[in-house]
Structure 1
Amino acid sequence: MTGLSRRLTWLLALAFWGLCSLGVGGGAWLHIRHVQNQAMGSALARAEIASRAVEQMLLRSFEAIDGMHEQAEARQRLLAGGQRQASRAIEAQFRAIAEQARFGVRQIAIIGPDGTLIWSSVPGWTPVDLADRPHFLGPRDTRGRQPFISIPLIGRTTAQWSVQVTRRIDDAAGGFAGVAVVSLDPIALVRSLQELQLGEGRRIRILRQDGVVIADSDDRPELGMRLEASDPLRRALAVAPNGRAEASSPGGLRLIGYQSLETVPLVVELSLDAAAELASIGFVGPSISAAAAAISLLLLAAIALSILWLEHSRTQQDLVQARRDRESVLERLAHAQRMESLGRLAGGIAHDFNNVLQAALGGAKLITRRTTDPGIRKLAEMVISAGERGASVTQRLLAFARRGQLRAEAIEIAPLMEGLREVLSHTLGAIVEVRLAVAPDLPPAMADRGQLEAVLINLAVNARDAMRPMGGGRLVLGAVLENIGEGRPGLAPGRYLRLDVTDTGTGMDAATLAQAAEPFFTTKPKDQGTGLGLAMATGFAQQSGGTLAIDSKPGKGTRVTLWLPEADEVTLRRSPPAHAGAEVPEGARVLLVDDEPLVRRLLAEWLRERGLVVVEAEGGRDALALLEREATFDLMITDLAMPGMNGLQLVEAIRARQPRLPALLLTGHPGDADATVLRLVADAGAFTMLRKPVAPEAVLAGCAALLLPQPTPTPTPTPTP
């Protein structure tokens, strides 16, 4: 090689090295910026997630405060009604909350309509004129239930910093009757929020919607300061009620996550120190620079950097997937919480509706017993029929709430299937051919008819949806009698009715089939399925003494099989109720306790017609007072869910005076009392529990079972599954 060629080669090598160095150096700089931006984004996401945690805890605190406002309004109503004793119980509760500083509460007070303090949980309080305070003027001049939140100020009764959370109190006519006040210690409030252990360097601020700071975890809190309109948080709030932002401060850049509370006019801000959050990646810049220098000298370093880059990309993919998985879990959890809330709401509605049905059915049956007019009797029987249909509605409502009690009965399967075929042939559409494959001479099954029909219809609708992509298909409803021996999972040996729902739809693969019966799993588009159908069907089958199985393959359709016990077998295992149809002893003294006047009066009429001496009480305390004045009773009938003292507390209190007194408990609210009722079995004295709406004849049968001599030990009530 000539000297010219050598020099040219070196020049080309140097040029290539220079180009590689420029490329590697530029790539290194861009990568450093990328990592910093990504770390900044992750830190902002952490701030937003942490602000959500603070928001949830603050919402729970304000839910408790809303309850205190309700109690304060209840106190005023009690006082207006002359019930001073009941109002004192509320006052004692308020003092206990303030003394314990629960939820950061420093004081609970009530301001009269003229602005004068008329009651406070602070010992030795004196009337103070608060008519000029915004936390009185705001609720006074604004109608509605939303709380008013004051700026932090020095309390005239406590002489300490506090934030006043107030709400308007209306009288019975809707006029202004005063203001309920809950004074919060802003320092204690933030201290309780810091118990979430969100990490070092976190600063929590709680602000009103107008930017006034009412609580601050900083060493030098900015209580009462109003943020300028140019503040980054105020600008961010103008764009979106929840999110993240960056803000410069004397201490450096801070990363902000904020949430606007839905039910309270407050904003939660959680900020992180950017320098502290980015300290963990401080080594990235020097490391990449050193790597770039090495790459410029050795081509092998470029290969090593490629490997590191691939690993880094794989790590980023894992982080993205983990974030998606976490969001999916949070969404399912929120769905489960909404379903649980709906369940509690359904149970409460059923409780109130059962009381209404109890009064309507009892009155109608009393009319049929007393009237000789055929027209009036027919109208009363129509009311009874409508009431029984209403009872069926509450049972379905409770089944949705997962708190219902299955009412098993002997069901003839062949007529049931034929009726469903008629209904489904019209409702599933022309694309679905509905057929029956029911064996002849089937014995009846033992199950809840309404729940069984709902399960079969739901399975048929699922089958229709599976056949729709194929342009339609065939749905077969089958039923046979099957003898089950030992070793079948989920089934005890015996005779069962096997019901099959078979379709020619798309079918399911193994992965989908494994999750099909899990709660909230669905293959339907969003908002077109809850994922609860098969889960509720499985629960119904197991609760009925049977089980459910699914067989499916892609392109081969699906068969869902439901096993239900034969009615005769189940009936033989059940003993008839004691003294069914027996007459109650005439002249027996009965204490009847129920806070619903109509229910109590109608039951009393029925019992008196049968020769019982009935003494009525509208609550637990009235019953105890009657027991002090009257002679002993032979039987007590009491509602389970009553305000003040519930039925179980009343039974315990009365049995302290009359230990062997039998008790008949009536309840229209399923589920909540069952575990407690089981404890009552261990107590001395017999008892029976009936669920509303209950026929008067059933109450009389229960009275007979408790008043007449018992041939066997007191039966144990079966809790609702």
Structure 2
Amino acid sequence: MQTAQRNSLRLLQWMMVASLALPLALFAFASAVSWVSIHETADREIERALDVAHEHALKVFETIDRSLSEIAEIIRHVSDADIVAREQALHLRLKQLVASLPQVKSVWIFDARGRALVNSLVVPAPEIDFSDRDYFRTHVAGDVGTYIGEALTPRPPYQGAAFFGVSRRRPSKDDSFTGVIQTSVLPEYFESYYARIGRESGSFFAVGRADGTVLARFPATGRDIRLDRGGPIGKLIAADPKAGLITVTSPVDGIERRLGYQRLAEYPIYVSAGLATSAIHARWLSTMSQHLIFGAPATALLFALLGLALRRTRHLHFEAEKRRQAEEALKHGQRLEALGRLTGGVAHDFNNLLTVIRASVDLLRRPDLPEARRLRYIEAISDTVTRAAKLTGQLLAFARRQTLKPEIFDVGRNLQTLSEMIATLIGSRIEIVILGPEEPCFVNADAGQFETAIINMAVNARDAIEGRGRLTIAVGMAASLPNAAPLSQNPYGYVAVSVADTGSGIPPDQLERIFEPFFTTKQAGHGTGLGLSQVFGFAKQSGGEVVVASEVGKGSIFTLYLPRTAGSGKLRQRPAADTQAVDGSGMSVLVVEDNAEVGQFATDALAELGYATKLVGNATHALEELEAGAEQFDAVFTDVVMPGMSGIELAQEIRRCHPDLPVVLTSGYSHVLSEHGSYGFELLQKPYSIEQLSRVLHRIGPRKVKRANEVS
């Protein structure tokens, strides 16, 4: 019996231990899980708040930067005396600018001595020396771009809230120091915004410079703050200078916080958001107190919390997936809209061209048609095909898929040669001014596409001028492309060709669309909307850029940048119009074309001119013909885009096996040609005329091979 009792007591003891150990183990496990979960949730909240604060700060500084650029353009090349003379008008302009920007307190324009020429506060500007301010003296030694200064207090007689300056050098023709443009930005603007979004207990936000100067923070403090870059916070940020999450104790108020920071991509500014660790711990204690209060149902509560966390995570993932699908649907819709506009434009123009061709063909079928009218309809078909080829070329130019034929030429000389054609296109009512460069400007580009681009810009300028006006075409040098990364710049610089008009200008809401294909502000029937698209595509594919500056009522300036090259070139000779076809004189040509109708046209036409031809449908059959007897052919004429082996691959194989057999390529479009060129082979663009084909074959000449016709 005692043994049974001892066993019963021992069992009760173990049950007591178990009744204590199991809840304690579950409580410890729940505490650990809760600790990790709450800290991860807090980190996600900090990252979301940081994203909001980062986007807000970025937009604020970008808006201020654009305002500085606008002011710089207003006073570009304007002397101090002229600024003072226009002080009242400039004051009103600056005051209007400040009224539209709640984050800006005032805007100032200073001369080279630090004296205010005009500001947005009062007229006239006070005779006060501001040269000791950091936003001024930083720019004296050199151009540092946009400078963001320290937090300052107004200098008497001015009063009001503290501010920090955002400034730039005033533009000058010779890059000399002529003064500073400065905006006074209100830290309280950031603080009030952070107060609105920082509703969580222990929330913290700050924006400051990379040197540790705090410009604004929430909760706000009544004194200037500058963090030591060599201190604990500075060392943690230095380990990961772009962005990160750290736990630090603030030297300002002694509060430990979980802090997220991120640097603005284009500015020496950091934005931070965080939560006091005491607030995070309070959340954890609040959660665990519920376990302590309910005790026995601790396990059930743990499962409920885990279930809640799972459901919350699934909900977040579900919302993220819905947002992703919505974004994909929006992008798809935008792509369809753009494709629809492009397809509609192509269909409209090609239908017009096909209408001319169809009508001409129908009229040619009429019996007893006079010879003069027959020739006129044939000429209409030929002209329409040329226009269709030009339309295709413009589309390929915009898509940067045209096959360029670069050559080294002097832009100034080519422009002088082109001036007579431009004068004819523009008309006598518009004065044309050509400003050539002081020295030769050589580029390595497609001269034909260059001339087309200049003509397109000139015609666009002509259409913008109502009545009489002036068109100025100037050639100059540029050290770099506008808005391009330094590493992508050309070491020789760039040649800039600007086309300026005194026309009506371009509304700001249309500036971003002017290079879109088929976008035009002209009336129906007065433009295809492809001229500027060709300029855009040619510039991009040539490694350059095209930019536009315009103001409504004051005209526009289009500037085409092309990479400058060392060396010399020759004056481009404009190709002559099609001449008569060249007789083949028995020259034998192997025609390789997968389109039976195109191939039959080529062979029939060449046969009419006295060429001996052999037509095959692909590269494999062509190689078989050459293997059977390559000496029977004087040239190979092959399409580029074919199933299986391409025309370029066929030409390279012929060059390897039959080096003395010339090859002529033909293609309407090939991405290989647009990216790598024709690999040294002759290239004839589709659609081609029989005259063009015969001249190319005549130029390469028949093979000088001895044909074995004698029987041994």
- The two structures have a TM-score, normalised by structure 1, of 0.47
**Structure with max Cα Rg:** 2
- The two structures have a TM-score, normalised by structure 2, of 0.47
